[in-house]
Amino acid sequence: MNNYFSKKEQIKFKHVDYAGIVFYPRFLEMLNDLVEDWFAEAIDRPFSKMHETNGIPTVDLKVQFKKAARLGEVLTKKLWVKNLGSASILCGFIFEDEQGKTCLEGEVTLVNVAFNENRNDIKAETFSEEMKTKISKYL
């Protein structure tokens, strides 16, 4: 995890349950936001443009919840590439609180896919060399 993409996020009321801690599906939404921000800000491939012809769905997800995150806390979310395949990316991620304690960590596998003309079928599509170069910076 030498080169990683990082974003901060404050835990809001919309993220928490009655006990005031992040409801676990909200963590997954935060992860998806992190992936989307990484593509837009670091890879220069915002979802708004990508999804005209392609997608990058999650095909595998492993998460370990380590510590509760509470309303008002600020998390640092980090994402990096563990393996870059011809059409897939295995990313590691970690969310840490302000003291550097891990709230959750895991791996997510994303696959580059192309839509057919009618958008009723998708298939894996090899990353362009330009995309591989940009993604490789986070290995």
For residue 10, the cross-strand partners are: 74
Residue 115: pLDDT band (50, 70, 90) is: confident
pTM over 0.85: yes
pLDDT at 37 (0 to 100): 98
**Which of 34, 29, 35, 36 has the alpha carbon at shortest distance from 12?**
29
Residue 134 confidence (pLDDT):
97
Domain at 5-136, CATH class: alpha beta
139 vs 53, residue with greater confidence? 139
Mean pLDDT in residue range 88-97: 98
pLDDT tens by residue, 14-70: 999 999 999 999 999 999 999 999 999 999 999 999 888 899 999 999 999 999 999
